[in-house]
Structure 1
Amino acid sequence: MDLARADAPQSPNLRPARLWRPRRVLVTPAALEHAHGRAMVARAEALGLPVERLRANRLTGLGGGDPRRAYAEAKATLALVAAPPTKLRLQPIPPSADWRFDLAEGCPAHCQYCYLAGSLSGPPVTRVYANLDAILGALADYAGRGAVTSTTEARAGEGTTFEASCYTDPLGIEHLTGSLSAAIRHFGAWDAPVQLRFTTKFAAVAPLLGLDHGRRTRIRISVNAQGAARYEGGTDPLEARLAALGAVARAGYPVGLTIAPILPLPGWRDAYAGLIREAARTLDGVPDLDLTAELITHRFTPGSKTVLQGWYPGSDLPLDESARTRKLTKFGSVKYVLPKDLMAEMREALTGMLARDLPAARILYWT
């Protein structure tokens, strides 16, 4: 994956961020029917990226029958497409938010535990939606509805929440799309108890710092203990992510720590304690700090294990079913989670660390 350095950021606390440069940009005819699609093409061409205008709306020819080749080609490809009508009908996304909406599907990172593995069909191309006006316009019908924050006493202060990072990392592609900035401005101008939420493993927040966000966007930075860094290829390092967290918090955004996936690696107790202390130092002195924490343990399914081992055959990510507890999801499918006793031990440890070193953090959930 090709990476470039961003221009000098607006905050002196930020270093130039790493920006993804796809080797292919595919543009469907449907994408060109929308002003946002044409604007994204202009962005790509201004960056000197090779843009291919397709004759049809179907994406084909990505790697053939070789899984490794298909993965490599897909991960280096950005496709500008139009979201189908089903994307305008939102789905609940507990425990994170009331509703999920998608600016894109797919991610340029190479996380060896990728949660998208087994969830999205076909090669992992990053597909960006050109019909942004329709996507944002559909949100109003869902305001005041939902079962996570809209109607629960503990989180009612967040208003109706809309999660934008279920199937993508919107900041990792923002320099190519502008979609995230448009969504932040949309929520900032929306005079209602609503909140946009997204989480990211990238640090290129400089374009977001001056936006009129109205404190209606919560930016959560996905972080992990240093020992897990080897599983997060193509992302920004922890130090850069924490600097980005401090920058957006000082720009007045509500912020969050997404600690995920929590892994029982050797020395995990000291490693997670160090992570939380670093986050506390980053946020020290932020005025009007609005901080949440979401704690997500590692889990996998038989399908995701098969996909991940095909994508990353040399990985030592712990995927041994015998060391996990087998559970059924509400849909009847199988997943493997940390054993009950270890889960309880880690939960007590991490929540205790947050209470001690980062008491401003409001823990939303452990899962």
Structure 2
Amino acid sequence: MVPLCVASGNDRCLRQRGDDRLPGGNSLHAHPRTGDHLHTPGRPTPDAHHPRRCCTRRAPHPLDPQARPGHPIRRRAPARPADHRALPGRRRRGHPTPDRRPPPQPDRRHAPCHLRAGQVDARRRRRPAVQAQAPAHPAERGLARRPRRGCPAHCQYCYLAGSLTGPPITRTYANLDDVLGGIAPAVGQGSVTSGTDARGHEGTTFEVSCYTDPLGLEHLTGSLAAAITHVGTADLGGPAQLRFTTKFADVAPLLDLPHHGRTRVRFSVNAASVERFEGGTARMPDRIAALRSLALAGYPVGLTIAPIMPVDGWRQEYADLLDAVAAATDDVPGLDLTAELITHRFTPRSKEVLLDWYPRTKLEMDEDLRRQKRGKYGAVKHVYPARVMHELRSWFDVALAERLPAARSLYWT
């Protein structure tokens, strides 16, 4: 049974069989994929879905300003299998809520949290199982798998924040068979690894962490294990590899899977001073220990050193990081280790979203200290000046070769 939250004290609530029609021919019904009770024109409520809990906010009845707040709902609650809970605050159409959230924007990709009872965001459409991407860095310009969207971590520097506008909601898709079924037809269509001399042995790579950290939700969904098993055992018609990046460390459910070396797990790591911007994630020593466990289980592994920042003492801090990884992987037989290096950057939109999410952040996002760069389609991003970028890259080129010679560097950006 799914709880139903009603945002006003009027008649748009608690409809069941025999009382499911709303004024104007509208009704409440259960969303076919999520089970949420939604309000759409001309659809009766299915008998199998009834709200169990009804929550109201203190707002006058629209037709009777003298009525007690929430009175129509409280009057109906005892006669139906639902319990009534009043929520604090006022919410009237056209007036801001107490936390002063802005009204819905037409370009939002998520249904705003403050929609009224039963309203549906018409912009929420089912996404295709496979989508061509143009993500932030070159290794992901291919085909992406999206079993989830939205991240459980709270990284104050998240470059993708501009792509995840609206409430910070984590969405997971239940049609996993459809998602995985799109892999085989797409094998051979990638543009980064397929057909290249340097990385052709990897086959077509499929990224599952474009817009989320899949390991952070694995204990709830199990979809990552299902994807690894599918790619490791299915006949896909050609060489293919699954890839994902994570800041979490609970890898125990993945160790015994039949991956057959077709899934590369990259761990996002950084200097100690930068780690304070990563809320809700595993600590750096735990991530390095998890990388070692997966490497010993035969997985290809990788480092995503990102976002690189020239903080005070950055040379020593990043040297300590590389030394810790070297010590953890020194005795791993047949180690397959890659490195991807990404400097910190932000867009006007991502800065706006991040400052809204984390208004007290100490992260430096000053356009006057950055160089403006334009992407393939003209999008503006703010990166470090050329002198700083050259200094950072020169140091990492030498440090990787000296401290972690087993690592194969894929790109710098």
Q: Which TM-score applies when normalising by structure 1?
A: 0.79
Quote how far apart the aligned CAs of 1:252 are. Answer: 0.3
Q: What residue number does 1:335 align with? A: 381
Instruction: Look up the SS of the partner of 2:161 in the other structure.
Output: coil
Which has the larger displacement, 134-143 or 211-220?
Answer: 134-143
- Measure the CA separation in 1 of the matches of 2:267 and 2:131: 27
Task: Say if 1:184 and 1:84 are closer, same or farther in 2 by CA, change over 3 A.
Answer: same
- Measure the CA separation in 1 of the matches of 2:161 and 2:134: 20
Instruction: Look up the SS of the partner of 1:147 in the other structure.
Output: coil
1:56 equivalent in alignment to 2:41: no
Q: Which structure is higher in RCO with an 8 Å CA cutoff and minimum separation 6?
A: 1
Q: What residue number does 1:96 align with? A: 139
- Measure the CA separation in 1 of the matches of 2:358 and 2:306: 19
Q: What residue number does 2:185 align with? A: 141
Q: 1:242-278, CA deviations, whole angstroms, 9 ceiling, x for partnerless residues?
A: 0000000000000000000001111111111110000
Segments of structure 2 that go 5 or more residues without pairing to the other structure are 1-29, 41-56, 58-95, 105-109, 114-123
- Measure the CA separation in 2 of the matches of 1:314 and 1:92: 31
Contact 2:255 2:294 in 1 (8 A): yes
Quote how far apart the aligned CAs of 1:91 are. Answer: 3.1
Contact 2:129 2:178 in 1 (8 A): no
Q: What residue number does 2:67 align with? A: none
Quote how far apart the aligned CAs of 1:330 are. Answer: 1.1
- Measure the CA separation in 1 of the matches of 2:335 and 2:267: 15
- Measure the CA separation in 1 of the matches of 2:302 and 2:37: 43
More helix by share: 1
Structure 2 counterpart of 1:354, one-letter code: L
What is the RMSD computed on CA atoms of the aligned residues? 2.4
Quote how far apart the aligned CAs of 1:118 are. Answer: 1.2
Instruction: Look up the SS of the partner of 1:350 in the other structure.
Output: helix
Q: 1:146-170, CA deviations, whole angstroms, 9 ceiling, x for partnerless residues?
A: 2100022111121100010010000
- Measure the CA separation in 2 of the matches of 1:178 and 1:211: 12
1:130 equivalent in alignment to 2:165: no
Q: What residue number does 1:180 align with? A: 224
Q: 1:195-215, CA deviations, whole angstroms, 9 ceiling, x for partnerless residues?
A: 000000000100000100010
Contact 1:273 1:350 in 2 (8 A): no
Number of matched residues? Answer: 308
2:32 corresponds, among 26, 30, 33, to 30
Instruction: Look up the SS of the partner of 1:225 in the other structure.
Output: coil
Q: 1:316-336, CA deviations, whole angstroms, 9 ceiling, x for partnerless residues?
A: 101011111011111112110
Quote how far apart the aligned CAs of 1:219 are. Answer: 0.4
Q: Which runs of structure 2 are paired with 1:69-88 in the superposition (5 Å)?
A: 84-88=126-130
Contact 2:165 2:353 in 1 (8 A): no
Which has the larger displacement, 198-207 or 84-93?
Answer: 84-93
Instruction: Look up the SS of the partner of 1:282 in the other structure.
Output: helix
Q: What residue number does 1:169 align with? A: 213
- Measure the CA separation in 1 of the matches of 2:362 and 2:288: 26
- Measure the CA separation in 2 of the matches of 1:91 and 1:117: 16
Higher Cα Rg: structure 1 or 2?
2
Q: 1:206-255, CA deviations, whole angstroms, 9 ceiling, x for partnerless residues?
A: 00001000100000000000010110010000010000000000000000
- Measure the CA separation in 2 of the matches of 1:193 and 1:105: 26
Contact 1:92 1:99 in 2 (8 A): no
Quote how far apart the aligned CAs of 1:120 are. Answer: 1.8
Q: What residue number does 2:20 align with? A: none
- Measure the CA separation in 1 of the matches of 2:199 and 2:324: 26
Contact 2:243 2:266 in 1 (8 A): yes
- Measure the CA separation in 2 of the matches of 1:156 and 1:129: 31
Quote how far apart the aligned CAs of 1:92 are. Answer: 5.5
Q: What residue number does 2:199 align with? A: 155
- Measure the CA separation in 1 of the matches of 2:386 and 2:349: 23
1:232 corresponds, among 278, 282, 306, to 278
Task: Say if 1:269 and 1:111 are closer, same or farther in 2 by CA, change over 3 A.
Answer: same
1:114 equivalent in alignment to 2:179: no
Structure 1 counterpart of 2:139, one-letter code: S
Q: 1:176-213, CA deviations, whole angstroms, 9 ceiling, x for partnerless residues?
A: 01010000001101343100000000001000001000
Task: Say if 1:292 and 1:203 are closer, same or farther in 2 by CA, change over 3 A.
Answer: same
Quote how far apart the aligned CAs of 1:57 are. Answer: 9.2
Contact 1:30 1:57 in 2 (8 A): no
Structure 2 counterpart of 1:359, one-letter code: P
- Measure the CA separation in 1 of the matches of 2:125 and 2:219: 20
Which has the larger displacement, 334-343 or 116-125?
Answer: 116-125
- Measure the CA separation in 1 of the matches of 2:389 and 2:39: 46
Structure 1 counterpart of 2:36, one-letter code: L
Identity among equivalent positions (%) equals 55
Instruction: Look up the SS of the partner of 2:249 in the other structure.
Output: coil
- Measure the CA separation in 2 of the matches of 1:288 and 1:171: 24
- Measure the CA separation in 2 of the matches of 1:67 and 1:118: 18
Q: Which runs of structure 2 are paired with 1:272-351 in the superposition (5 Å)?
A: 272-351=318-397
- Measure the CA separation in 2 of the matches of 1:89 and 1:300: 24
Q: 1:42-72, CA deviations, whole angstroms, 9 ceiling, x for partnerless residues?
A: xxxxxxxxxxx522399xx9x966459x99x
- Measure the CA separation in 1 of the matches of 2:408 and 2:265: 14
- Measure the CA separation in 2 of the matches of 1:318 and 1:342: 15
